[in-house]
Amino acid sequence: MSNVLIFGPPGVGKGTQADLISKKYKLTHLSSGDLLRAELKHGRHKVKIKELLDAGKLVPDDMITEMIEKAVVQGLKKGGFLFDGYPRTLKQARSLDKFLKSKKVKLDAVINLKLSEKDAEKRILKRGQTSGRSDDNKKIIKARFGIYRTQTVPLLEYYKKQKKIINIDGRPAVIDVFAKIVEDLHEALKS
Ligand code: AP5
C-alpha cells in the first residue's frame, strides 16, 4: 500500500494528475479543496469556509486536519491515498505524519509539480471561464500564490529532509506530465 502527496502551486495541475494517478495505482484521491467545496453546500462551517475560499486564504489547520483525518479513517481499508492540497502548512504536515504513524502507515512520496506563476495563472483564468469557482479570478489568484509562497513552499524543505520529493516539470501536455510521474514514481516506490 502506498500513500502519495501531490504538491505544487495553484493551477499547476495537481487535481488533473491526481485523478490519473489515483486510477492507475488504485489510491483514494483526497482533495482538500474538493472536501471544502463540498462542505460549502451543507457543512456546519460553510459560512466561514466560504469567506476564506472567496478570499483565497487558508482555512484553519485544525478544521481541515479534522476533515482529512475523518476521510482517511473512512478510506483506510480500501488501501492507499493520493493527498492533493493537504498538507499545505508545516503544522498540517506534522499532523499528517503523526496521524499516519498512529495508523501504522506513512507518506511514501511527494510529487512536486513545477510551473511558473505566469503559466499557472493562465490555466486558472481559462478554467475560471467555466469552473464557477469564486477564487478563479486575477485578484484572488494573486493572494493564493502569495500564501503558497509563504506558507506552503516551506514544506518542500520538510519533505526534502525526508528524501521524499520527486520533481516534475508541469509544463508539458497532461499526458506527458503523467507519463513522467509514472516513470519516476515507479522508481521511488521501489526503493
Ligand atoms: P484547491 O482546490 O486545493 O486549489 P489550488 O491548490 O489552488 O489548486 P487548483 O485547484 O487551482 O489547481 P490544481 O493544481 O489542482 O490544477 P488543476 O488540475 O485544477 O484549494 C482551494 C482553496 O481551498 C484554497 O485556496 C484554500 O482556501 C482552501 N484549502 C485547500 N486546501 C487547504 C488546506 N490544506 N489548508 C487550508 N486551506 C485549504 O488544473 C488547473 C487547470 O489547468 C485546469 O483547467 C486543467 O484542465 C488545466 N491543466 C492541468 N494540467 C494541464 C497541462 N499539463 N497543460 C494544460 N492545461 C492543464
Q: What would the pLDDT profile of 38-74 be if each residue is shown by its tens digit?
A: 999 887 899 999 999 999 999 999 999 999 999 999 9
Answer yes or no: is the C-beta of 85 below 6 A from any ligand 1 atom: yes
Local structure of 125: helix, strand or coil: helix
Average pLDDT of the residues in 135-148: 96
Residue 183's CB: how many other CB atoms inside 10 A? 11
Percent of the chain at pLDDT > 90 equals 92
Which residues touch 158 (CB under 8 Å, ≥6 apart)? 90, 93
Q: Average pLDDT of 14-39?
A: 96
| Structural domain range at position 152 | 4-190
Res. 29: pLDDT tops 80? yes
Instruction: Give the position, in ligand 1's atom list, of the atom nearest the Cα of 113.
Output: 14
Using only C-alpha atoms, what is the Rg of the chain?
Answer: 16
Q: Is 37 in the pocket of ligand 1 (CB under 6 A)?
A: no
Q: Evaluate: CB of 113 within 6 angstroms of ligand 1.
A: no
Q: How many domains does the chain have?
A: 1
